[in-house]
Amino acid sequence: MNGHNLDPADGSVSRDTRRRVVAASFIGNFVEWFDYAVYGYLAVTISVVFFPESDPQTGLLLTFALFAISFLVRPLGGFVWGHIGDKVGRRTALSLSILIMSGATFCIALIPGYDTIGIWAPILLLLIRVVQGFSASGEYAGASAFLVEYAPSNKRGLYAAVVPASTAAGLLLGSLFAGVLTALLTSEAMQSWGWRLPFLLAAPMGLIGRYIRTKLEDTPVFRELAAEDETVKAPVSALFRNHWRQLLQAVGAVLLNAVGFYVILSYMPTYLSAELGLGETESFLATTIALLTYIGFIFLTGMLSDRYGRKKVLISASITFIVLTVPAFALLGTGNFLVIVLIQILLGAMLTLNDGTLPSFLAEMFPTRVRYSGFAVSFNLSNALFGGTAPFMATLLIAATANDLAPAWYLAGAAVISLVAVALSRETCKEPLRSE
C-alpha cells in the first residue's frame, strides 16, 4: 500500500453514520472543556478553597500554576494516545480517554478543602488534574482525525470544525453554569460546596460519550490499513524519524491556537474582573458573548478553508492578531461595558479564523499511519508549553510589568510564530489523505 492515497468515497459512508461520528467526536471535547471553563471561571473561588493563607494575587497565581502544571503531562499523553490511535485504532483510543478523563474530572468535586486536610488539598488537586490532562491529551487530536477520515473529501474542513465548536460549547456551558452559581450563591456557599457542582456533571456526560463511541466502527482509512497489516508498530518513532519537518511546522502553527484560546476564552473573565475591575457577572456575560460569536463563526471558517485553502485562512488569522490584538486590549481597558462586548465579539471572530481551520490542517499534514500521533504530539507540545501556561503567564506578566496590555503582546508574539510556521508548510486541502 506504499504511496497510496486514501479517502473514503463520498457515497461509501451513510449520512446516519456520519451524524453519529459527529456526535461521538463532539461529546469528549465538550466534557473536557466544560471542566476547563469551570476551573478558569471559578479560579478566584478555587484559590480561596485551596490556598486560603495566600494573598489574593498569589493564590490566583498558584491556582493557575496547578492548571499549567497539569499541561506538562500532555506531551506524554500525546505519545501514548497517538500510539494507541495509530496502532490499535482511533475508536479504541477515544473510548478509553473519555472514560478516564470524565472520571478524573468527577473526582475533583470530591477533594476536601485546605481547611479540612491542609496541604494535601492542593496536592490532590494537582494529582487529579495531571490524570485529567493526560487522558484529555488525545481527545482533540483523535476527534479531529476521526472526523477528517470519515468526512467527504471536499468537506473535511467543515467536519473538523466540529471539534473546536465542541470545545467552545463546553466553555459556554461552563461559563453559564459558573455565572449562575456566582449570581445565586453567596461567597460562603460557593467556597463551601457550590464550586463542586459543575465537576459532578462530568461522570454522566462521560458515560454517554463512551457509549456512543463504542457503537461506531473505526474510520474507513484506518480499517483499510489494518486489514492489509499496514499499521506502524511504533508510530511515534516513525513520526520523529520520517516526518520531523512537518512536526516542527505543526508545533509552530498550533501556537496561536494554544495562547489565543486560553487567553480569550478561558482567562478573559479573570482578566476583566481581577485586572480591569469589571464585575464578575459582567465579565461572565462578556465572555459568553465571545463564545457565542466563536461558535457562530467556526463552521464558516471551516467552509472557507475547504474553498480557499487552509494556508490562506490561517495566514489571515495570524496577520489579524498581529495587527489588532494590542489595540483591542487597550479598548478593553476603557471599562465601558458596550465597548468590552464589541471587543469580545471581535476577538471571538478573529480566533475562529485560526481554530476553525487548524484541525483539518493538522490532520491533513500527516499521513494516515501516523496521523493521530502527529496531531496529538504537535498539538499537546505547543499547548503544554504555551497554552496551559497562558493564564499563568498573563497574570505573571501583568504583575512583573504593571502593564495590563502584557497579555496582548504575548498573544501577538504567538501569532508571529504561527505565521512563519504556516507560511513554510504546504497546502493540503485539495489533496487526498495519504498513507505514506
Give yes or no for a contact between 148 and 360, defined as CB atoms under 8 angstroms apart: yes
Q: Quick one: pLDDT at residue 2?
A: 44
Q: Rounded to the nearest 5 degrees, what angle is found at the Cα of 71, between the Cα atoms of 68 and 76?
A: 155
Please tell me which residue, 375 or 203, carries the higher pLDDT value.
Answer: 375
Region 81-107: what's the mean pLDDT?
92
Q: Quick one: pLDDT at residue 70?
A: 76
C-beta atoms surrounding 102 within 10 Å: 29
In the chain, the amino acid numbered 381 is L
In the chain, the amino acid numbered 147 is L
User: Which region holds residue 277: left if phi is over 0, alpha if psi is between -120 and 50, else beta?
Assistant: left
User: How far lies 220's CA from each of 24, 193, 216, 226, 368, in Å?
Assistant: 16, 47, 11, 10, 11
Please tell me which residue, 165 or 335, carries the higher pLDDT value.
Answer: 165
Q: How confident is the model at residue 331 (pLDDT cuts 50, 70, 90)?
A: very high
Tens digit of each residue's pLDDT (9 = 90 or more) over 242-268: 999 999 999 999 999 999 988 887 788
In the chain, the amino acid numbered 50 is F
Nearest partner of 350 among 382, 378, 327, judged by Cα:
327
Is 118 in a helix, a strand, or coil?
coil
Tens digit of each residue's pLDDT (9 = 90 or more) over 229-247: 778 889 999 999 999 999 9
Q: Quick one: pLDDT at residue 434?
A: 66
Would you state the cell numbers that stand for residue 311, as one nine-digit string? 494556508
At the fourth CATH level, which superfamily is domain 13-434? MFS general substrate transporter like domains (1.20.1250.20)
Most confident region among 36-45, 272-281, 396-405 by mean pLDDT: 396-405
Rounded CA gap, 94 and 187, in Å? Answer: 38
In the chain, the amino acid numbered 72 is L
Q: Give the per-residue SS3 of the chain.
A: CCCCEECCCCCCCCHHHHHHHHHHHHHHHHHHHHHHHHHHHCHHHHHHHHCCCCCHHHHHHHHHHHHHHCCCCHHHHHHHHHHHHHHCCHHHHHHHHHHHHHHHHHHHCCCCCHHHHCCHHHHHHHHHHHHHHHHHCCHHHHHHHHHHHHCCCCCHHHHHCHHHHHHHHHHHHHHHHHHHHHHHCCHHHHHHCHHHHHHHCHHHHHHHHHHHHHCCCCCHHHHHHHHCCCCCCCHHHHHHHHCHHHHHHHHHHHHHHHHHHHHHHHHHHHHHHHHCCCCHHHHHHHHHHHHHHHHHHHHHHHHHHHHHCHHHHHHHHHHHHHHHHHHHHHHHCCCCHHHHHHHHHHHHHHHHHHHCCHHHHHHHHCCHHHHHHHHHHHHHHHHHHHHCCHHHHHHHHHHHHCCCCHHHHHHHHHHHHHHHHHHHCCCCCCCCEECC
Rounded CA gap, 4 and 318, in Å? Answer: 34
Nearest partner of 65 among 343, 422, 388, judged by Cα:
388
Q: Quick one: pLDDT at residue 197?
A: 92
121 Cβ contact list (under 8 Å, min separation 6): 49, 50, 111, 112, 113, 114
User: How far lies 139's CA from each of 149, 215, 333, 354, 382, in Å?
Assistant: 15, 18, 36, 19, 15
Q: How confident is the model at residue 7 (pLDDT cuts 50, 70, 90)?
A: low
DSSP 52: T
Check whether 385 has a pLDDT greater than 90. no
Tens digit of each residue's pLDDT (9 = 90 or more) over 162-179: 999 998 898 888 878 887
Region 133-158: what's the mean pLDDT?
92
Give yes or no for a contact between 151 and 161, defined as CB atoms under 8 angstroms apart: no
Mean pLDDT for all residues in the chain:
88
Count CA within 13 A, CB hemisphere, residue 260.
Answer: 38
Region 325-342: what's the mean pLDDT?
90
Q: How confident is the model at residue 273 (pLDDT cuts 50, 70, 90)?
A: confident
Check whether 292 has a pLDDT greater than 90. no
